[in-house]
A and B are shown apart, each in its own frame.
Chain A
Amino acid sequence: GDSVTQMEGPVTLSEEAFLTINCTYTATGYPSLFWYVQYPGEGLQLLLKATKADDKGSNKGFEATYRKETTSFHLEKGSVQVSDSAVYFCALNNNAGNMLTFGGGTRLMVKP
């Protein structure tokens, strides 16, 4: 079946550091890929998405590129802020029912 693997956290960075959170997937066909973010005490929010190979999703300074050849969708941000501290989930959707398959989540902690 489909699966998503993302780097374990926590990831601890200083403010303005460069961020990469790795995400790789296993799926048949051509899934859509997503990054969700969960701020403390809140539900998940869609951060960005990409629906086909070589698409780049971007939002709030975050970017991720759909790489079919490496089955990856790594999340990057050039300069993180304390307010980016959250848990980040990589996910895919590969079926007509639109159900999501999630990775294990990566906690990001940004220190001033």
Chain B
Amino acid sequence: DVKVTQSSRYLVKRTGEKVFLECVQDMDHENMFWYRQDPGLGLRLIYFSYDVKMKEKGDIPEGYSVSREKKERFSLILESASTNQTSMYLCATLRASGYTFGSGTRLTVV
């Protein structure tokens, strides 16, 4: 089975900090995604990547950027964290049989 590993389960950061959320997959999948999950809003797509060094904006990219220097790693960056970015962040990969999600990183910005 594909494994998608998110480096941190819980994070607490201060307003204005630069935050890195890391996601690593153990298969050779091109497609990787970052979503944020909020109660009542479901999952909303922040950014996705079809290949190394390629990135595309999703529905809510404002305040975020991403990095994909190696195929197995897709990083989400909060350039200057704000309290409205407190959320659960989910990474996913896509193959022919469907999506595989990581366990999520719950980020709290204080």
Contact = CB atoms under 8 A, between A and B. Distances in A.
Interface of A: 4, 8, 34, 41-46, 49, 89, 97-100, 102-105
Looking at chain B's contact residues, the main secondary structure is strand
Nearest to B91: A43
Interface in B59-107: 90, 92, 94, 98-99, 101-104
A34 B2 CA distance: 19
Interface in B8-48: 31, 33, 37, 39-45, 48
Given A98-B31, A98-B94, A99-B48, A43 B42 contact: no
Please give me the 10 A-B residue pairs with the lowest Cβ-Cβ distance, nearest first: A43-B101, A102-B42, A102-B43, A44-B101, A104-B42, A43-B103, A104-B40, A43-B102, A105-B42, A103-B42
Interface of B: 4, 31, 33, 37, 39-45, 48, 58, 90, 92, 94, 98-99, 101-104
A15 to B, nearest CB: 25
Given A43-B90, A98-B94, 13 more contacts: A4-B42, A43-B102, A43-B103, A44-B90, A49-B98, A89-B42, A97-B48, A100-B43, A100-B45, A100-B99, A102-B43, A105-B39, A105-B42
Contacts of B41: 104
Contacts of B39: 104-105
A28 B39 CA distance: 27
Contact of B40 (A8, A43, A45): A8
A44 B48 CA distance: 17
